[in-house]
Amino acid sequence: MSLGKLANCSRCDALFVQTVRDICPKCYQEVEQEYEKCARFLRKRENRGANIHQVSEATGVSVKQITRFIKEGRISVDGNPNLGYPCEICGILIRTGNMCDACMKGLKHEISQQLEVDQRLEQEARARQAEAAVYRRKQNRDE
């Protein structure tokens, strides 16, 4: 049985004995209170149309923390049609993943272009090696 290790809290940088979480017990309690504020706010029927910025403004919880709650599955976007979190690239509100469709498409395009460039460079390198081998064989015959 492990007793834990000394670590710094990722939120407040305080030293604590880490067992399961990467935050200290004090910050864990604060996060739980923030979650309860958000959950209470979103349980009210009149608030179900709120977006992440409205939830943040009404509860005082940061957009970043609300995003974590959504990604962890603690806050569901299913019953909240306008609730989403910012795309990590462009900031447009999304409901799943880390990137919007447009940024994902752009990233896939960049990756495919880079793969094509890599393949062309590899083919050129092979061709140069083959030419060098032919040149060496020719030199060896001439000697």
Domain-embedded: residue 12: no
Q: Are residues 104 and 90 in the same domain?
A: no
Q: How many domains does one find in the chain?
A: 2
Residue where the block lists tokens 């977006």: 51
Question: What average pLDDT does the segment 21-43 reach?
Answer: 95
Residues 82 and 112 grouped into a single domain: no
Q: What angle do CA 15, 20, 23 make, to 5 degrees?
A: 40
79 in the same domain as 31: yes
Q: Based on the fold, state whether residues 35 and 82 are members of the same structural domain.
A: yes
**32 shares its domain with 81:** yes
Shared-domain flag, residues 113 and 89: no
Report the pLDDT averaged over residues 22-51: 94
User: Is residue 55 within 8 Å of 35, Cβ to Cβ?
Assistant: no
Q: Which of 9-18, 50-59, 130-139 has the lowest mean pLDDT?
A: 130-139
**Region 59-83 average pLDDT:** 92
Global pTM reads 0.72
What confidence tier does 8 reach under pLDDT thresholds 50, 70, 90? very high
| DSSP annotation of 60 | -
CA-angle at 62, arms to 106 and 102, nearest 5°: 10
- pLDDT for 78 equals 87
- pLDDT(1) > 60: no
**The token pair that represents 118 in the structure block:** 């890599």
**Same domain for 80 and 112?**
no
pLDDT more than 70, % of the chain = 97
Written as one letter, the residue type at 56 is: S
Residues 129 and 91 placed together within one structural domain of the fold: no
The verdict on 45 and 84 lying in the same domain is: yes
In a domain, 127, yes or no: yes
39 sits in which H/E element = helix 25-43
CB 5 within 8 A of CB 19: no
Q: Which of 82, 74, 18 is nearest to 48 (CA)?
A: 82
Pair (30, 78) in one structural domain: yes
Strand positions, DSSP E, the chain: 5-8, 15-18, 85-86, 93-94
Average pLDDT, the chain: 91
Query: Does an H or E element contain 106, and which?
Result: helix 101-142
Q: Based on the domain organization, do 132 and 76 belong to the same domain? A: no
pLDDT at position 143 is 65
Domain span holding position 84: 22-97
Rounded CA gap, 121 and 137, in Å? 24
pLDDT in tens, 124-135: 999 999 888 888
Q: Is residue 17 part of a domain?
A: no
